[in-house]
A and B are shown apart, each in its own frame.
Chain A
Amino acid sequence: DAGITQSPRHKVTETGTPVTLRCHQTENHRYMYWYRQDPGHGLRLIHYSYGVKDTDKGEVSDGYSVSRSKTEDFLLTLESATSSQTSVYFCAISAPGLAGRYEQYFGPGTRLTVT
């Protein structure tokens, strides 16, 4: 798992409430990513970070914000959760693989249900 943890692993929340998901890595990799996975859509990129305080939008960024104040932590915030944000959220980092080429490595995921 390349030293990636996500918290919480499961969360149920109500529509309109703010939610923050945390991704933590232990190896000081520069690039970190947040994806959501929905049936029939595969994984879609929400936001990514290329360093402390350096972030950019992905394919499905509306309704989400991110922050990275430390190399090891990348936070994903839903300012006002909606039912369409019910999904499984994955964090990933980019790191050298066995052949020395950069690959993405994923955390275990957070299952979020918005009621």
Chain B
Amino acid sequence: KQEVTQIPAALSVPEGENLVLNCSFTDSAIYNLQWFRQDPGKGLTSLLLIQSSQREQTSGRLNASLDKSSGRSTLYIAASQPGDSATYLCAVSVGDMRFGAGTRLTVKP
């Protein structure tokens, strides 16, 4: 059974820092991996999708990497801003999608 883990569960950083969020999964047989952002009381917003054949995807200040062989993905956020404060979830597609529990990020002004 595919298990997805995100560590740490919560992270607090000062504004302007570069930071990395981690996602690990137990089975490398995935179709793709997707990173989402969730604001309190809201639904999920897709940030980046990496196909299984890709190594990374970039969108603005966000860069996501994928290493299938080690079962890991990272989400790099450059020059963090208070508006980046949210919960970030990763999910792997194995036919259906399996989600991690998320990392709650707080960026302090």
Contacts and interface: CB of A to CB of B under 8 A. Distances in A.
Given A41-B101, A42-B4, A103-B34, A108 B43 contact: yes
A109 B42 contact: yes
B26 interface: no
B96 A42 contact: no
Contact of A97 (B36, B46, B101): B46
A101 B52 CA distance: 12
Interface string B1-34: 0001000000000000000000000000000101
Contact of B43 (A40, A44, A106): A106
A43 B97 CA distance: 9
A58 B43 CA distance: 20
Interface residues of B, number: 21
Nearest to B42: A108
Interface in A89-115: 90, 92, 97, 99, 101, 103-109
8 contacts: A35-B99, A40-B101, A42-B99, A42-B102, A45-B97, A90-B43, A101-B32, A101-B51
A-B pairs, top 9 by smallest CB distance, nearest first, are A42-B99, A106-B43, A43-B99, A106-B44, A42-B101, A108-B43, A45-B96, A103-B49, A103-B46
